[in-house]
């Protein structure tokens, strides 16, 4: 499981998760579907089928085509080694970007199921 130790959030419309200063995954909000980028800049539209944030473990489930294009496993688990404020920022930004995507979120900020 990759350990994410840094996060960059831009205007609540984009979030980049980094490990050792390198981007692991970046998500960007688009009107029609989210954009997901891997660390090499490869792009997949509407890639996330569902996601969970349970404590400090963030899991994305990608559709098969997107997982292959991005070079990610279909079930992509990341451990968030971040402070509580950064975990809250990730949570809030993902809820905005992936609005309408199946999710389960359990953090100190509360529980969300969609």
pTM, rounded to two decimals: 0.93
Domain containing 96 equals: 2-113
Region of 32 on the Ramachandran plot (φ > 0 left; ψ -120 to 50 alpha; else beta): alpha
Q: How far is CA 38 from CA 26, 35, 46, in A?
A: 7, 10, 14
Please give the helix or strand (H or E) that residue 87 lies within, else none: helix 84-97
What count of residues does the chain have? 114
Instruction: Tell me how far apart the alpha carbons of residues 4 and 16 are, in angstroms, rounded to a whole number.
Output: 10
pLDDT at 21: 96
Q: How far is CA 58 from CA 6, 16, 62, 66, 101, in A?
A: 14, 13, 13, 18, 14
Please give the helix or strand (H or E) that residue 68 lies within, else none: helix 64-70
**Residue 50 corresponds to which tokens in the numbers above?**
């569902």
31-73 pLDDT per residue, tens: 878 999 999 999 999 999 999 999 999 999 999 999 999 999 9
12-23 pLDDT per residue, tens: 789 999 999 999
Q: How many domains does the chain have?
A: 1
């Amino acid at each position: 499981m990759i350990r994410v130790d840094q996060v960059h959030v831009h205007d609540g419309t984009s979030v980049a998760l980094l490990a050792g200063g390198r981007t692991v995954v970046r998500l960007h909000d688009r009107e029609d579907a989210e954009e997901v980028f891997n660390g090499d800049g490869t792009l997949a539209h509407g890639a996330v089928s569902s996601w969970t944030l349970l404590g400090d473990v963030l899991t994305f489930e990608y559709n098969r085509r997107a997982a292959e294009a991005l070079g990610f496993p279909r079930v992509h688990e990341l451990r968030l080694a971040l402070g509580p404020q950064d975990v809250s920022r990730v949570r809030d930004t993902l809820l905005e970007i992936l609005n309408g995507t199946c999710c389960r979120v359990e953090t100190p900020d509360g529980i969300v199921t969609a």
